[in-house]
Each structure stands twice: as structure tokens, then as C-alpha cells.
Structure 1
Amino acid sequence: MDTILVAGGAGFIGSHLCRALSDAGHRVICLDNLQTARPSNLKLLEDLPNFTFVEADIVNALPASVTDAPNLTRIYNCACAASPPQYQADPEHTMLTNVVGTNHLLRLAEKTGARFLLTSTSEVYGDPEVHPQVEGYRGWVSCTGPRACYDEGKRAAEAMTFDFARMSRAEVRVARIFNTYGPHMHPDDGRVVSNLICQALTGRDITVHGDGTQTRSFCYVSDMVRGLMALMESDIDGTEPVNIGNPDEFTINELLDMVLELVPNAGKVVNTPLPQDDPRRRRPDISRARDVLDWSPRVPLSEGLPMTAEWFAEEVGAEMSVREAAE
């Protein structure tokens, strides 16, 4: 049985990935410092067969339980807070996670011969001047603003990963992840889907940054995990990134309307200032993923959002289910 390491495996996407890999028959090591991960995510994984949790931070030297793992064949780097409030809370650690942590994992891949996948981000495109975003677009990113610890950290992680590939030190894959949502998100992680749903369910004011005309593209987590696994197992040479996301584009106001249809007794909507460097438009061009991975998303927002809202309703203890509220 081969061993797969998932750094950041107790996080939102990482925990779904751990389960999918275990279901596929692999031995899984979940490495996480639990700084932003939800303990409940980890608890759901502990009973999986051939699953091991290691509490450690990839900024530090990797523990022997990871470096000496038998038959390590794959390394997924999903480690790093992905929501602005979380990664801005400790920007130094965010940058170090992306740069120093990625270096530690790449060196482990070099030592063991394991294939390495970096989960990068659509944030490398910044506030894009090219729409939709193709992998060849170099982005328009502020290197001095409050989001730079994450945006520039991921860009540096990509540069290091591709350098390892060019020097034949490791076999690599790079995924540029676009907005992802679904069950097991943190209710207070500050991202727009969780914000709108949880505020609506709990009767709080619903905050919309700016005028709500900015756009995002939302990928359901099962589609994202399927895309990451397809990229990891693909035969591409690994020297180019691949966008993984849902190309359906929605304004934040359109997303809000969908949430209010699910939770009609929500509180009032309050517009707040747009955060600094917040992208105005975001939509992936997934032509490369379609061509080289034969991958495209299957779950539209109209299906994924109700499933996510129902999960949040249980999580936050809403008095009625989303379906009951919508009837």
C-alpha cells in the first residue's frame, strides 16, 4: 500500500481530500498544525482505515513520522490559511508557510521520489486585467498590500516548485484553485459563501462588501477534490500550472439572492467598504484542465449551495432546516 501525505489535511479542502484518498485505498498521513483547521474535521477522519494524523507545522523541520513514512509516493501541499481574515491575522507565518513550508515538502519529495502537488490559488492573478483568467496571464498583484503575504507567498511557492521541476529535483504539479465551497467550511472563516449563509441563518445583518457587483466563480468541494486528484495522477510534465475551478460567474448580489431564497427570514443587508486589493472579477478559463485532465465541474451552484446551507444550518444550530425555511 502506498502512502500519501496531505499537508493541511485537517483544513476544509484537505479533509475532503484525505477522505477521498482513503476511500480510494491509500494510506493517508494528515499533517496539520491545527492553527486554522476545525477539530471536528479531524474527528471525522480519525476512524478511516490506514489514516494517521501528525500535528506539526511545515514551517519547522518535518518530524520523522513524516520523513520516514514507508512507501511515500504522493505529497499534496494544502497547508496555508486561505481566507483573508485568517491569513492576515499572522502574515509572517502565512508567508513562511508558503515559502519555507513548501521548500521542506519539496525536499521531502526530492528525497523520497514522491510526486508533489502544490495547491496554489487564483489570487496569483490579483485584481485581473484579463478575463477570464488563463494560466499564461501573469497577474496584477499588489506586492505591498495586506493580501501580499498570501498572494506573493503563493507566487513564490509556485516559483520554487517549478524550479525544482526544471532542475529535475522533483516531479511536480501546480493547481491554481478558485473559490471553493461546501460542507466543513469554518462558519467564521470570512469567505463570502460562509459569511452570507451563516449571517442569514442566525438573523444577523448580512454584510456585502462594496456594491455587490464584483464577481466570483464557485466550485463545489467534491469537484475540486476530483480535479486535484486528476492533476496529481495526470501524465503532464508539470512545468505549467492548471486552473481548477468552476467557470460559471456570479455577482455577489446574485449569490446573495440565492441565499435569501434558501433562508427567506434573514436579517437586513448592509453594504460595507470593499477591502483593499479585493478583486473585481474572478473567473477561471479551464480549457487546460478540460484538455489535459478531462476534468470539468459537475455540481452547479444551484445544487451545491443548498447542500452547503443545510450543513451550515446544523452546524450553527439554526432552529429550522433550510428546506423548511424555503417552503
Structure 2
Amino acid sequence: FLRYSTQKVFLSSMSSAMMLSILMRAARGEGSMGIRHGARTGFRSYRTTRAFASQAPSRQSGVISTEELNKMAKSASTRIIDASWHMPATGRVGYEEYLKGPRVPNAVFFDIDRASDDSNPLPHMLPSATDFADYVNEIGINDNDTVIVYDTIGMFSAPRVWWMFRYFQHPNVYVLNGGLPAWIESGLPLETTEIDPKSQPEKLTNFSAKEQKGFLVSHQKMKELVNSGVTNIFDVRSKERFTGQAPDPRGLRSGHMPNAVNIPFNLVLDSNGKLLPNSKLSSVFASVDMEKGVVSSCGSGVTACIVALAMYELGFRSHQHQGIYDGAWSEWASDEGCEVLKGD
């Protein structure tokens, strides 16, 4: 994360109106789309020479549409995952809802809390490669499968599982844009019969996993990055939680890390829970010097992956921009030795 990205982006595809808007906002020293810089960051100039291009991504998109999934579902190598997870305060349990339905046909359930490091008291921390492979084999996924992940909210917990598969070097993994709500809205087939968990057959597969450690940011590394200020730290929690106006839902200290930038994850989504098109996503990050690299953080490592997916769509796909602070606010705020700031 301390190295500058060598990725080059160009202004040739930008409209004159967009360029004029960026220049005018730079002159006024304004933020963009609700982005807030943490205290201590000081003035950050807008770098129009590092604005995003609207060119096609260098690789396949990380999201697919309902129409695309409907076609892919006919292939035996397509595995569909319901990765629904909900904040404890909602009272919703993803697995129970999956069993009752409705579901995308032939979907299996991925339990974020089960596929975690159960020796760590923090919520759903990444498991070891061995434990991840064991769990993925248990739900019936092979090395050569194409994995499609969705959730019942639209775009909430599915990107976390997408990021986990990428972290463990499974290349063919995608997020269903808009999740189950989009599938239902499209009028596509559903499974509505309740599943008896005891009747599910044993699955024998050959999934293997290997870690990409550069994608995972430890607590110690995070403290170093905060102190150095050389890497962008995206805090994707709500503005109210970032500023400390709202209490933390887990009863922790409220506020944010020094040098953090607030980019609430809902800024990269539309009103239907779909990822914004690239032309709109680029404006979310217009005020950020992306050459510095990015580490994303949230409350417990889930929603940070939504913003990681957004950056992936814009072509920022290496560990320099896909790093997740897994311990997130749950770990930072629990450490009395870590500074917590309030306000913008």
C-alpha cells in the first residue's frame, strides 16, 4: 500500500462540463458527493490529471445482471450463492430466510459467520485458507466453478463473499447486481418451497484456497498507515457514525480514525441497491488521489467490500486498492491505544 499505483487514467473521455465542474470545486476547496476527510488531513487538492476514465475495464466486470445469470444458470459449472447477512439489531437471520425462501433456484447458502476465524473474538474475521476451502467444499463448490453471489437486500453482504473468494484466489466470482430484489423484479423463476436442512445431501468437491495476503490489512498495519498518512483510508460507514453523531451499534466508541475519508457505501449504489454505472461511480472518488492506494474499512469488514467492488469496476483491482481492514471499527474502537476523532 505504500507504493504509488502505476495505473494511468486519462481525461480524454471526460466531458468539458465534468472537467469544468471539477476545476470549479477545486477552486472552492469543496468535497464531492458527501465525501468527508477526517481531521488532520488538511487541505487535499483535486488532481484532475488523475480523474477516472470511462474506458472499458481491463478485465471482465465483477457484477452480472439478472439476465446474464438466467443464461449462465443453465451451466453445470455455475454455482449460485445466497450470502445474505444482516446486522444483529435487525433481528433478521439470513440462513432462516434462505431456508424459507424465496431463493434463486439451486442457490446454496454461504454463512459469513461460519466461514470465519472462530478463534478470534471479533465478528466474522477471515478464516485460514484450509478452513475456507473446507467450508466451500462443504457447500459444494469446485475449483472450476463460476460463482455468482447475491443477497436479499440488493448489494450489502454479497460483495464481502465476492472479496473472500478473490482473496483466496478463486478467479471466477461475480456479484448479482441488485441481488434477490432485482431477480424478483425481473420476473425470473424462484424457489419458494421451504428447505429441510437435515435433508440436504452431502457434497463432495475439490475446492482449494490460497491466500493473497496483500489484500488483508492487519491491526498493526492499519496503525502504521493511519500514522503515516501515505495511503487513502476509506471509512464506508454512515456520515453519522463517522462524525460520532450516532452511537456505535456495538456499543463501541464513536467517531473515526485519523486521516480517514468518509465515503458511505450507499454513495456507490442506486435507490434499488444496484452498483452505479461507471460514469457515475467515477464522480464518487473524484476528490481522491487514487495513486496513493486505498484501504477500506467499515464496522466489521462487510460493507467495506461494497466500495472495493466499486473500485474494481473502475479498474482498481490490485492489492493497492482492494485492501480491507478486516478488524475494522470493531477492532480499532476496542483498542484504547488507538485515537478516535469526532466531527468531520
Query: TM-score, length-normalised on structure 2?
Result: 0.28
Relative to total residues, which structure has the larger helix share, 1 or 2? 1
Q: Which has the larger radius of gyration?
A: 2
Which is bigger in relative contact order (C-alpha 8 A, separation at least 6)?
A: 2
Greater share of residues in strand: 1
TM-score between the two structures when normalised by the length of structure 1:
0.29
